[in-house]
Structure 1
């Protein structure tokens, strides 16, 4: 038994190092002088914050604009995606209608395929509606995809709420909408927090769909903009890129730490029933 514990701890330590070391390397690279990522030591011999200053003063790149674009897309995607997931999962959990089982089965099948398989179809659809190079197109893609990904978690959560609460509210004269807004939503805070943060995080760091849809530099998000910095043949701004990557991770890290309790409650409650 002790050998099993030892092996378990060794595996956990190795996994932790595999996650922590690259992140620490990027942070240290963003604080060292020069523009090369190569270094003989992990900890720089001299520290500087000039790269972080350059993010907002360098006229060659539009980092501030990319940051605001990303915040806009991520926040609106989280809001719209959460609303769609709430309404759809509540309907699936509480109502019986024609096509319900077929719809659930269809969404389950769609979850088995990676989202980038739909790139061509999404591109053609947005091209037909003249929505390319639009933040709203990106928001619609993220929020609709989030519904497919999170509907079973939300439905499982609503299944854990006793139907007697619905019945008691209806006896008092409440409509379906009143039951949903006054009873279900207040009880769904952990689950809604989890879903909102998952959608926000997905939109915040996504590169594939943002690269497909956004066509001009003024519309780009952080993931696309940072990629363009190091993708140029003559680019040597690797420490600049490292500083941008560090700032990219800060909002998500703070949200995960702040909402950790709700995340655990929302995920475990939604997984108790299907």
Structure 2
């Protein structure tokens, strides 16, 4: 039976995708099942526990201020997402629509700064927050997240480049100012971009550990990432199954957001890739 090269390539592609899916899904399944396994150790000879228990989820709220950590994380993530998304979209819009002296140099500078990992600025940020008396406060974390968000303006700029400039010109002819044009005309046409930017910003703020660990010290101020790390970060800590339960609780809202916003997320990715 003759098998074409195209069928072979398609078959190999599906096999590769299945292997990648298994590699990605298996650790998640292991963590979920570990959170339901009695005891405190993640190690087990079998993947499926012989007995299922939900005590580890109850322990999160009874023995630890998990609810407070969750509230702190949601608050920081939501506020950072709101302002970070606005600043990112405005930055991309300005570089896409307007022409001014130093535009390319400023764009290149922001792109280069965005290439450096954020933890390289930890010492400078720590000193700055100390001088501003903002250590161990949520506003410090929010300021860091929001201030760094415009560095990732390129995707927003690429999206706005695909929009017809005649819409902006028509708004100006009708007497609309810059902000009115942006908020009343451009943003309603940019729902996929808004969803994509919001999801990325929310996910980054919700799961961040490095800056939160640097700034937050007291137990009532901690976020989920910092609080859960402390469960297993100490030398005498052995609550690995409780830690697994906390990981499941962290992944749940982010996963649901991606599932419900998947359509807009795909539209934002494809539309922003049309024109650079």
Q: Gapped runs of 5+ residues in structure 2?
A: none
Q: Separation in 2 of the partners of 1:144 and 1:267?
A: 24
Aligned residues: 271
1:132 counterpart residue number: 135
Q: Structure 1: state its 5+ residue gaps.
A: none
Task: Choose from 62, 72, 75 the match for 2:75.
Answer: 72
Match of 2:27 in 1: 22
1:164-179 correspondence to structure 2 within 5 Å: 164-179=166-181
Q: For each residue in 1:58-101, what CA deviation from the matched residue of structure 2 results, as whole angstroms up to 9, or x when unmatched?
A: 2xx21111111100111111001011112222111111222211
Partner in structure 2 of residue 103 of structure 1: 106
Partner of 2:92: 89
Contact 1:143 1:199 in 2 (8 A): no
Do structure 1's residue 226 and structure 2's residue 234 form an aligned pair?
no
**Superposed displacement of residue 102, structure 1:** 1.2
User: In the aligned structure 2, how far is the partner of 1:250 from the partner of 1:7?
Assistant: 32
> Could you tell me the TM-score, scaled by structure 2's length?
0.94
Give the aligned partner of residue 213 of structure 2: 211
Partner of 2:272: 270
Quote the residue 2:9 is aligned against. 4
Give TM-score scaled by structure 1 length: 0.95
Q: Shift of residue 153 of structure 1?
A: 0.7
Task: Give the match's secondary structure for 1:68.
Answer: helix
Q: Secondary structure of 1:111's match?
A: helix
Post-superposition offset of 1:112: 2.1
- Would you say 1:144 and 2:116 are equivalent positions? no
- Tell me the C-alpha RMSD between the 2 structures: 1.3
Deviations 1:15-70 (A, max 9, x none): 11111010000000011112211111100111111111121122xx2111111110
Q: CA offset at residue 159 of structure 1?
A: 1.1
| Segment drifting more, 67-76 vs 2-11 | 2-11
Offset at 1:13? 2.0
User: What CA distance in whole angstroms lies between the structure 2 residues aligned with 1:98 and 1:137?
Assistant: 33
Distance in 2 separating the partners of 1:185 and 1:5: 40
